[in-house]
Structure 1
Amino acid sequence: MNNFEFYNPTRIVFGEGKIAELDRLIPADAKVLILFGGQSARKTGTLDEVEQALGQRQFGLFGGIEPNPRYETLMEAVEKVSAEGYDYLLAVGGGSVIDGTKFVAAAAKYDGDAWDILTSMGGKVEAALPFGAVLTLPATGSEMNKGSVVTRESMQAKLPFMSELVFPQFSVLDPVKTYTLPIRQVGNGAVDAFVHVVEQYLTYPANAPVQDRFAEGLLQTLVELGPQALEIPEDYNVRASLMWTATLALNGLIGVGVPQDWSTHMLGHELTALHGLDHAQTLAVVLPAMLNEKFEQKQAKLAQFAERVWHIDQGSEAEKAQQAIEKTRDFFERMNVKTRMSDYDLDATAIEPLIESLTQHGMTQLGEHGDVTPDVCRRVLQAAL
């Protein structure tokens, strides 16, 4: 196991009816800007609960944050913060809304060009507004981490940034709020969380049995309960376990002291930026092909994955590893997330623009060994057709 430092200050308030706790969690004198996505937050009653919980506090609303939050939209929120004097932010929604709120929190305190926050991957963030979150869509883990991904539509760029200054102060997780989610979002969420775990787990053995077992437990939970969530939308125990699993998948705990990959995510970002695919759809397309491309390097962990998550105990190490990749693809398909570029009407003509964009964004040495080059990514995309 490698040396590491672990820090996570986010308070999790979990369970049915916990939105009422906002009155305790947010300073009484705060002027709060509530950020959210579409009108579902209002239609489902979640916004009404939030507003009631805020009591006598002054608050305003900023809606319309997209599923892949756009820089242009978020800068409108930054202007609203400045013009109306908000000193506390509250994200109400899924990972995209929370990601967007992190950017607004940092940009509202940034003196220069806010695009620098993204091009520096958060390195230039020196201050941020405090904020909390009410999670309605479990998937990204953004409710308990310091990362964010923002899309600048005018540049067709989707870039991440990280900063310890944008950890949420708290996140409220009420599984009941997931009951009304469309099937597509439930499937996407399970796939997103699954790949988050895989990016931290399927690398090479690092003598980290604690992290491995944590990761394998999360993956098993997703495999077992993901299909149940599609079949029985209002099973509280299933939705509660999925919600907590998605949070633990990317709150930093399973990634400490071990090598991490993230090449699937970086290539997937380009598919979203250029073609508008859902984030989870891009991951489902890229991951199986990436695992096959890096098969020899990842074979030992893939075989472990096969044995401990998929319960495959017959065959050679290579045979078990290959079966694990196919089982993973099958799981994505069972979650109604397709796994080929052709499923999204993309053919070979899409590949070179994706590689060019990846190169322009500096993503030329990806993966746990830094050897996932543009040429490797080209082969991955060709295999994913």
Structure 2
Amino acid sequence: MKFSYVNTTVIHFGVGQISALATNVPSDANVLVVYGGGSIKKNGVYEQVVAALSDHRWMEFSGIEANPTKETLDKAIAIAKSECIDFIVAVGGGSVIDGAKYIAAAALHDGDSWDLVTGKYTVETAIPLGAILTLPATGSESNMGAVVTKRSTNEKLGFMSPAVRPAFAVLDPSAMKTLPERQLINGLVDAWVHVCEQYITYPTGNMVQDGYAEVLLKNLLVLGRQFEQQDDAWRENLMWTANQSLNGLIGAGMPQDWATHMIGHELTALWHVDHARSLAIVQPSLLRAQIEAKRAKLEQMGRNVFGLADSPSLAEHTIVAIESFYQGLNVDLVLSEVPGDKSDAIEQIIAKLKQNGYLEMGENKGITLDVTRTILANAL
């Protein structure tokens, strides 16, 4: 093992922790609070934010989408520049937090904001930001990545920089009480695939990362089976498990895949498929296409996560168990947004992947465009 690991985000976990804003946001900061469609004004979160910032100078920007768009975020970037914003507070799920990261970085860039994701601009500085998480899923509240959609060209791309890792994150599980079932299910699936992308590769002997990943997967299995329960402990465990699934720890020094995400992003960009559901559509087919390269880890997952018995077809049974996990949550495994013949849809996705430079994906770079075409033919 050889790696460097650091996570500088301070986590304030538990009911009532939104009040921590008062002391975690600098008292002399000019603050921009960003959020989504307004649900935070119905569940009490907004009122808590207002109370916590009562001694601060702040303004707000709303309307960040479930898949944040460049077009909307550019409006917030203009405000951040014109109002000399020097601290951003993101209130929402991963999409709002991703959007806040994009705003924080692009506000210090003189060129087009899309330069962040095309690589024309390297993000080395950003406006400091904090996050109040209302929907557990992406782990964006304590990592350095963000994904944004350019609506005009149907592109969904991301960037990473330590400069946009939130200074602090408030994780108050009570904020989840009013979330629709669909969003909670999406959170479970998203966290599950995040772990899988860092775990289902090839054996490394890294006991801590493997063991911790397996614990997180088993947590999500139990939370999925207990979905109807949704008591305080259920919410707490989902929020903390989703955070740990993508805070950098289980991926430290490990081979990682992320091809399911790259392909899934195109389904979201082209047909507005929920991000988590795009992953559930792609992943089983991808695993079957890569089963020989991933067989050892699939077998390990079958034994240690699902409790399956050893057999020559253990890897195949593990993929079926993953599908059963999704089906138990009533998550569709086909692209229902595109009826009938999917051949045109497949070629659209392939064209987008080629345009974005995703010619060889996966931990072994073995997922070429031809392999991807096969994956999509079996998945869609």
TM-score of the superposed pair, with normalisation by structure 2: 0.98
Matched, 1:358 2:316: no
Q: Which residue of 2 aligns with 1:160?
A: 158
Matched residue count: 379
Which segments of 5 or more consecutive residues in structure 2 lack a partner in the other structure? none
Structure 2: how far apart are the matches of 1:141 and 1:345? 33
Structure 2: how far apart are the matches of 1:72 and 1:142? 21
Q: Which residue of 2 aligns with 1:232?
A: 229
**In structure 2, the residue corresponding to 1:132 is in which secondary structure?**
strand
1:40-59 per-residue CA deviation (whole Å, 9 max, x = no partner) reads: 11111111110111122111
Q: After alignment, is 9-18 or 81-90 more displaced? A: 81-90
Q: Which residue of 2 aligns with 1:345?
A: 339
1:341-379 per-residue CA deviation (whole Å, 9 max, x = no partner) reads: 247636333110110011001011110011211111110
Matched, 1:284 2:280: yes
TM-superposed deviation, 1:243: 0.4
Which segments of 5 or more consecutive residues in structure 1 lack a partner in the other structure? none
Q: Which residue of 1 aligns with 2:196?
A: 198
Alignment of 1:1-385 (within 5 A): 1=1, 3-120=2-119, 124-228=122-226, 230-233=227-230, 235-316=231-312, 319-342=313-336, 345=339, 347-385=342-380
**In structure 1, the residue corresponding to 2:74 is in which secondary structure?**
helix
Structure 1: how far apart are the matches of 2:42 and 2:367? 44
Runs of 4+ in 1 over 4 A off after TM superposition: none
Amino acid at match of 1:102: K
Structure 2: how far apart are the matches of 1:343 and 1:110? 37
1:275-295 per-residue CA deviation (whole Å, 9 max, x = no partner) reads: 110100110000000000000
Structure 2: how far apart are the matches of 1:223 and 1:202? 16
CA contact (8 A) 1:188 1:335 kept: no
Aligned Cα root-mean-square deviation (Å): 1.2
**In structure 1, the residue corresponding to 2:374 is in which secondary structure?**
helix
CA contact (8 A) 1:226 1:242 kept: no
**In structure 1, the residue corresponding to 2:321 is in which secondary structure?**
helix
CA contact (8 A) 1:110 1:127 kept: no
**In structure 1, the residue corresponding to 2:159 is in which secondary structure?**
strand
1:210-241 per-residue CA deviation (whole Å, 9 max, x = no partner) reads: 1100000000000001232x3023x1111101
Structure 2: how far apart are the matches of 1:342 and 1:384? 11
Percent identical pairs in the alignment equals 49
CA contact (8 A) 2:273 2:337 kept: no
CA contact (8 A) 1:20 1:53 kept: yes
**In structure 1, the residue corresponding to 2:12 is in which secondary structure?**
strand
Structure 2: how far apart are the matches of 1:366 and 1:131? 32
Structure 2: how far apart are the matches of 1:342 and 1:273? 15
**In structure 2, the residue corresponding to 1:203 is in which secondary structure?**
coil
Structure 2: how far apart are the matches of 1:80 and 1:46? 23
**In structure 2, the residue corresponding to 1:231 is in which secondary structure?**
coil
Amino acid at match of 2:354: T
TM-score of the superposed pair, with normalisation by structure 1: 0.96
